[in-house]
Amino acid sequence: MSNKLRRFETLLPLQFNDGREVPPDWLAEAVLEIVERFNAASYETQKVEGHWRHQGILYRDNLVKIVIDAADEKPTASGCANTKRVGGRNSTNLSYGWSVTQ
């Protein structure tokens, strides 16, 4: 087992594209699922403002960040490689993916 840690981060939106608020229980569910999988997570409640352009239109997102520091092992990396959907029991899902920093 490696003593080296790798940081994984993801940003979760606070609103859907149509402007509706993401239900707080969906955000809590995402954090708990991550803790269940990796045994720990940090949830930064400070709002992160993201800007992105698509087909010439500039969009802005309000986001929160989830961070995990986990052993630098193949199972950890492969566990973060998949996009996750939260809130699947409803018609609109909240999706997130991971970025890796070293």
| Domains of the chain by start residue, with CATH | 5-101 (3.30.70)
Full DSSP string of 25-64: HHHHHHHHHHHHHHS--EEEEEEEEEEEEETTEEEEEEEE
Contact between residue 97 and residue 85 where contact means Cβ atoms under 8 Å apart:
no
Determine the pLDDT at residue 102.
56
pLDDT tens over the chain, length 102 residues: 557 888 888 888 899 878 899 999 988 888 888 888 888 899 998 989 989 898 999 988 899 999 988 877 765 555 554 545 544 443 344 555 655 555
Determine the pLDDT at residue 62.
92
